[in-house]
Amino acid sequence: MFSRPLRDPDTPIRETDTDAAIARLSAVRKHYLQDPFISLFISQSQFIPPRPPLINLGTYVRSKIIDDLIIDWARVMTNSSTPFQIVSLGAGSDTRFWRLAVSLVLNIFMLCRDKRPNSLGWATKQRHNYILRGIDLRNLTDFAQTTSLLDPSVPTLVLAECVLVYMTKEQSNALLKHLTDTFSCVGAIVYEMYGLNDDFGRVMKANLKTRHLTLPGIDAYVTLNDQISRFLHTGFTRGHALSLKTLRYDYVESEEHQRYVRYNFKKREQPDDGRLNKLEFLDEVEELDLVLNHYAISWGLKPSELLEETIQKGTADWGVTRKTSTIE
């Protein structure tokens, strides 16, 4: 009698990369986003059906805010005539290098792929340098060897989209601490679920368990303040965190998001005729708000002495700008 070989326990994590890529493809096809590259990363993409409006809108808010933070980082560095480099952890099928390379001059863009099978490659075109490494981000020695390819004196922006939550608190904190110990100026953007200690969170974790997915880091950072504290305890001097729900209503450009008028007597929200509402009809408004309120984007900064001086003078800052008033 033959027993089936044990499946790589990291395979379900890698498969989440496909989920994210398909969600982005759907959002692009429904005209929430522009991305001419995403279909090239998905096998037989022409046969993949669209995702529900709830997924499309959530993908849009996530992508829009992270892109805004990256572009604002580039603005701050460009204003000070400072070159910079970007590191994407667990990047999977991220197309951001090619999308940004169209409009930004990047000295080095580096992808540490933890969600795909091991691979190693690089390509250089003019001043756009792209380095691809296949490593286990839980192994700090491997990560340190990879970051040694970068110039520690150059301001470095690190992206971690749904990565740290799959690591233990000790592993992710060690990784962040290594960044602040290594680079004289470093910023980090983290996107992940949080606050899963309620009924919604318990259902989410149960659903993930059916896919053999666990979240070792989820209980360490239950609140937005916990997300901020993670940065401050690992060498960053500034930290911010907002839920996707708040980001959707208050920080996405007014012409790009759906405003809502609350009818107290019906306990419901009615969308206006904004651009996103014209793309698809969204019936699950309360469900969308519930989902978005369990995902957060946080960002931390350890500035160089020069950048700290400009921040203190009020001539430079890094973050997202509030676009609309808060809905009570």
Query: What does the pLDDT average to over 82-97?
Result: 87
Instruction: Report the pLDDT averaged over residues 134-147.
Output: 90
Question: What's residue 199's pLDDT?
Answer: 95
The whole-number pLDDT of residue 103 equals 67
Residue 8 lies in a domain: no
Query: In the predicted model, what is the mean pLDDT of residues 59-83?
Result: 90
* Count of structural domains, the chain: 1
pLDDT range class, residue 296, cuts 50, 70, 90: very high
Is 238 annotated to bind a ligand? Reply is: no
Contact 99, 35 (CB under 8 A): yes
Angle between helices 169-182 and 224-232 (to 10 degrees): 50
pLDDT higher for 205 or 257? 205
Mean pLDDT value of segment 122-148: 75
Q: Is 276 annotated as a binding residue?
A: no
Phi, psi of 27 (to 5 degrees): -65, -35
Res. 48: pLDDT tops 90: yes
Predicted confidence (pLDDT) at residue 259 exceeds the cutoff of 70: no
Domain membership of residue 2 (yes or no) is: no
Residue type at position 304: S
| Domain coverage including residue 145 | 52-313
Q: Are 185 and 151 in contact (CB under 8 A)?
A: no
- Convert 164-197 to b/e letters by CB count within 10 Å (16 or more is b): bbbbeeebbbebbebbbebbbbbbbbbbbbbbbe
CA distance 162 to 17: 10
pLDDT single digits (tens) 100-128: 877 665 544 444 544 443 333 333 333 44
- Of the listed ranges 20-29, 42-51, 260-269, the least confidently predicted one is 260-269
Is residue 137 part of an annotated ligand binding site?
yes
Query: ∠ CA(130), CA(56), CA(325), 5° rounding?
Result: 100
Sheet holding 120-125, edge to edge: 120-125, 128-134, 108-113, 85-89, 156-161, 186-193, 295-302, 238-243
- Is residue 7 assigned to a domain? no
Asked whether the predicted pLDDT for residue 328 surpasses 50, the reply is: no
pLDDT at 299: 98
- Give Cα 188 to chain centroid, integer Å: 10
Q: Calculate mean pLDDT across residues 187-214.
A: 95
The pLDDT of residue 133: 82
Express each pLDDT in 159-194 by its tens digit. 999 999 999 999 999 999 999 999 999 999 999 999
Q: What is the mean pLDDT of the chain?
A: 83
Higher pLDDT, 125 or 99: 99
Whether 61 shows a pLDDT value over 70: the answer reads yes
Is residue 231 a part of any domain in this protein? yes
C-alpha 89/C-alpha 93 separation (Å) is 11
Interatomic CA distance for residues 110 and 149, integer angstroms: 10
CA distance 18 to 116: 9
Task: Say if 96 falls within a structural domain.
Answer: yes
The string over 270-305, giving b where at least 16 C-beta atoms fall within 10 Å of a residue's C-beta and e elsewhere, is eeeeeebbebbebeeeeebbebbbbbbbbbbbbbbe
Tokens of 67: 């892109």
pLDDT at res. 123 = 35
CATH of the domain at 147: 3.40.50.150
* Per-residue model confidence (pLDDT) at position 274: 65
Q: Give the pair of three-digit tokens for residue 225.
A: 């303040």
Residue 80: CA count within 13 A, CB half-sphere:
23
Q: Does 136 count as an annotated binding residue?
A: yes
Structural domain contains residue 89: yes
